[in-house]
Structure 1
């Protein structure tokens, strides 16, 4: 996890909130079913501390891949091992970013093995800023580089563990400068689970189990239909 998210806020509002200059390639919003390999909004900061909001492919492609599907789809990086993995260890030092979303989905299983989806958001209603790493990948034929990104995950806090044993690393606003490299080094302590009261969630329709599903009803609270005898 996380393997699916929703982005519902206008990109100009996101740019203003994160004090980032918007690029001209931002994804269309709202998107209530953002899937891996599609474009997601990402904030980066350059050497001068200037932030940019741009789109990146969700699924980091290591520079040694010959083609995008040359190995595992790296949509997430485990915070516990990110400094050891060849695909991530350089990026975590030099190319940190924030993936922006309104919420993300996780699944539990019912007694029959069916997958029940849950939509997870911040309790305070603010957008989620997920710790992430980015990598430019250039195909062997030398075409234009593709900018790709992976979100960091860590062990779930006690509250979140009721849904899943992992959760994305959530960066609070006060820590954005440190994670983006604007406030010096020492960002490793940020790669931790969020406090217990950060998130809330509700059951949503199984319609979102399909990566082709679309529409605001995907994040609405699902109510079971009672069957009565007639």
Structure 2
């Protein structure tokens, strides 16, 4: 599970990395953040509905499925297990139609020290460069008020040998070549 991550890059570096064209409509909140938590508004890269080109959008980190009756999902939706993307009613449609890239430079894993204390470790690529977490997103609409929430979940997968000492899941990291 990944419950926190970080990003040192500002929106200009993100735009260059993902070869984005138009950032005029993106608020300045897409800047660096060393402690990104669930329910915060974060930049993701997705395909634009009208253009089909990559765009930077600000979405809430905790996926609210389109079918949810309320804006608070009935279970935790910050992470989506890769092995359940095609079988889970919450993940299937977003995985098939609404994938996204989540810009990041590190994520945190926590090692238990004792029953009450955990030591956080920031996990990054060896060269500390910007990378993408794999994600899915969805659009929820309140049919009474018209309120719309766009939100995302981070895809997790089995850990590699290094990460399995910390957790049985790890975020899916997508290389630029992929």
Q: Higher strand fraction: Structure 1 or Structure 2?
A: 2
C-alpha displacement of 1:26: 5.3
Match of 1:152 in 2: 155
Deviations 1:16-71 (A, max 9, x none): 11012334235253221111011111001247541101111001001122222241
1:122 paired with 2:141, answer no
Task: Describe how 1:77-92 pairs up with structure 2 within 5 A.
Answer: 77-92=80-95
Work out the CA distance in 2 between the residues paired with 1:70 and 1:111.
Answer: 32
Work out the CA distance in 1 between the residues paired with 2:136 and 2:87.
Answer: 14
CA RMSD of aligned residues (A): 1.7
The counterpart of 1:53, out of the listed 39, 53, 56, is 56
Work out the CA distance in 2 between the residues paired with 1:70 and 1:76.
Answer: 13
TM-score by length of 1: 0.71
Q: Would the alpha carbon gap of residues 28 and 129 (structure 1) be closer, same or farther in structure 2, given more than 3 Å must change?
A: closer
1:12 paired with 2:15, answer no
1:63 paired with 2:66, answer yes
In 2, are the aligned partners of 1:26 and 1:54 still within 8 Å (CA)? no
- Higher Rg: 1
Match of 1:95 in 2: 98
Higher RCO (Cα < 8 Å, 6 or more apart)? 2
C-alpha displacement of 1:87: 0.8
Work out the CA distance in 1 between the residues paired with 2:100 and 2:151.
Answer: 11
In structure 1, runs of 5+ residues without a counterpart are: 176-230
TM-score by length of 2: 0.91
In structure 2, runs of 5+ residues without a counterpart are: none
